[in-house]
């Protein structure tokens, strides 16, 4: 059973990204700006073959913090 202990998390954040996002928060809160988050999840299936799933999500409802998938870019191979 995989407990997730062998997961390797990687996140590439450019210097200044956090400050930029904080500065843009008023535009996000007002609905004038949408922050899209893209990523790729790599995993092995039960047969040991490696796969990758690309994803794009955004906050659809700031009040409830509800996320939604983007129309494009979500792909599984």
The residues spanned by each domain of the chain are 36-77
The answer to whether residues 37 and 56 touch, using CB atoms and an 8 Å cutoff, is yes
**Per-block average pLDDT, block size 10, for the chain (77 residues)?**
60 76 84 85 90 88 84 75
pTM of the model: 0.58
pLDDT for 1 equals 47
pLDDT for 64 equals 83
Look up residue 53 and give its two tokens.
Answer: 């799933």
pLDDT for 47 equals 94
Write the burial class of residue 1 (CB in 10 Å: 0-12 exposed, 13-18 middle, 19+ buried): exposed
pLDDT for 49 equals 92
What is the sign of the dihedral through the CA atoms of 63, 67, 68 and 70? positive
């Amino acid at each position: 059973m995989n407990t997730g202990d062998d997961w390797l998390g990687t996140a590439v954040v450019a210097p200044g990204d956090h400050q930029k996002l904080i500065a843009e928060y008023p535009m996000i809160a007002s609905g004038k700006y949408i922050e899209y988050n893209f990523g790729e999840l790599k995993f092995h299936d039960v047969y040991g073959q490696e796969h990758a799933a690309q994803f794009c999500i955004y906050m659809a409802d700031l009040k409830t913090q509800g996320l939604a998938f983007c129309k494009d870019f979500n792909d599984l191979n």
